[in-house]
Structure 1
Amino acid sequence: MPHDNGRIFGSFKKICIPESEVSVEAIELQSSLLQLKQSYYDQTLSECDVSFQIILLYLEKRVKKHPFLRMGQKLPKRTLVNDFLEVVRFYGMPDTVRYALWKWHSNEWDIRLIDYNPTSLEMLESQSRGVRYATISWDHALSGALVEGKRDAFEHLLHDLAHAYMFFREDYDFVGQKEFFKSMLNDFQQYEMHLENNPVFKEKFEYCISDMNSHPAHLRAYWNAIRREAGIPIMEESRTT
């Protein structure tokens, strides 16, 4: 949560701007954002290319000098997206974002750009299939409002791409994560009522499926712990006792 009572923090704090300036920026970027929005809905640009262009747009707006670090090599034309992403480093953000874009553009990772925040069930279903969503909220981008009162639309997209990296990276056992989310999806009816009636459990559940992205062993341990805390029977444990 990079915006909290006027404070900015988090992985992208170097390229975040005060909440009071986001609406002004939205006006200045309106024309370019509307063009990208049209390209997104017309599908004249791929979802990855739209995301790439959004990142370039905001980064060059917010970082006046050296928004791209060239790593000692000549910067390719940005129309050569893969070549550009292979050698560039984006200022002020972890390299997870660039790497996720690169893998996405190479069709190695199945990331989907959507224009809304998915429901818990949609997140479970998509990740059980090996798909990770990234959200660009056009309404928030164009109005300069914070998404869920936490992040501007640009940072929200970066946050999703960083988590996509954690989902697909090999040492976090991508296949194991898929199987874990599939098992959660299969058991959804067993705890659906608790999501509706227990806000603490719901918050921890949504963290587990959206922001945790860890090795399946860690995910499973956390999932078991929050179910016990909520008083939800764990079938695997019941079968072994």
Structure 2
Amino acid sequence: MPHDNGRIYGSFKKICIPELELKKEAELIGPNLLSLKTDWEAGHISDSLLTFQLVLLYLERRVKRHPFLRMGKPLPNRNESKEFLEVVRFYGMPDTVRFALWKWHIDEWDIRLINYNPSSLEMLESQSLGYRYSTISWDDAISGSLVEGKRDAFEHLLHDLAHAYMFFRKDYDFEGQKQFFQKMYFEYPQYESALETNPIFRTKFDYCISDMNSHPAHLSAYWNAIRREAGIPTETNG
């Protein structure tokens, strides 16, 4: 959990701020957020361009010096979002986020922005169809609260983009992952009874289908392991 008893953990801790400071930040950038939200809901700005603008907004607010990095050369015009994403690095986060946003922006990766947290089953279905959700929680962004008590709205969005990278990256076998999730989605009804009666299996199952993006071999090994742990035969289930 990135926010835990006032301490911040995780890959994005350099650009996270204490929970107590989120409301003040929300007050300061609230007009910008509302303007972006209005444009997005009216269809005046694309999903990827909105996400790019949110990254600019939050990073420039949270990082006072050099939020954007480019070795030895001046920064390109930020209005040229494609070029900006190609060559600029974002301070305080893995480059997987910038790369996923760039691939999304040039329509090579099918990432879809939504304004709510999808269920694990919705995530399973989306990945079985070859796309990945990313969430901007407008309510939490505007109110300065944590999404489900774990991450602020900005970090939550970055976290989703990092997972999208793991889903689409070539060396993690995107097609193999998609086939794995297709099989799990097709077989889901077989496990509903166990999911309703075994909370440990439920938690691990939800993690596998919604928050674990890895090579299909690793996914299959984990899936077999949690079924065996729950006393569910795996011989005929793959």
TM-score of Structure 1 vs Structure 2, range by shorter chain: over 0.9
- Which residue of 1 is the match for residue 174 of structure 2? 174
Q: Unaligned regions of 5+ residues in structure 1, if any? A: none
- Which letter does structure 2 place at the counterpart of 1:17? I
TM-score by length of 2: 0.97
Q: Number of matched residues?
A: 238
Structure 1 residues 68, 195: closer, same or farther in 2, change over 3 A?
A: same
2:40 pairs with 1:40: yes
What SS does the corresponding residue of 1:79 show, helix, strand or coil?
coil
- Which residue of 2 is the match for residue 232 of structure 1? 232
TM-score by length of 1: 0.96
CA contact (8 A) 1:71 1:87 kept: no
TM superposition shift of 1:239: 7.7
- Which letter does structure 2 place at the counterpart of 1:221? A
- Find the aligned partners of 1:30 and 1:231 in 2 and give their Cα distance: 50
What SS does the corresponding residue of 1:212 show, helix, strand or coil?
coil
Matches within 5 A, 1:201-212: 201-212=201-212
Matches within 5 A, 1:82-231: 82-231=82-231
CA displacement 1:214-234 (0-9 Å, x = unmatched): 100000010111111122232
- Find the aligned partners of 1:72 and 1:132 in 2 and give their Cα distance: 35
Query: Percent of pairs identical after alignment?
Result: 71
TM superposition shift of 1:15: 0.3
TM superposition shift of 1:209: 2.1
- Find the aligned partners of 1:71 and 1:102 in 2 and give their Cα distance: 18
What SS does the corresponding residue of 1:209 show, helix, strand or coil?
helix
- Judge which range, 67-76 or 8-17, deviates more: 67-76
CA displacement 1:43-81 (0-9 Å, x = unmatched): 100000011111110000000110000122221111111
RMSD: 1.3
CA contact (8 A) 1:71 1:89 kept: no
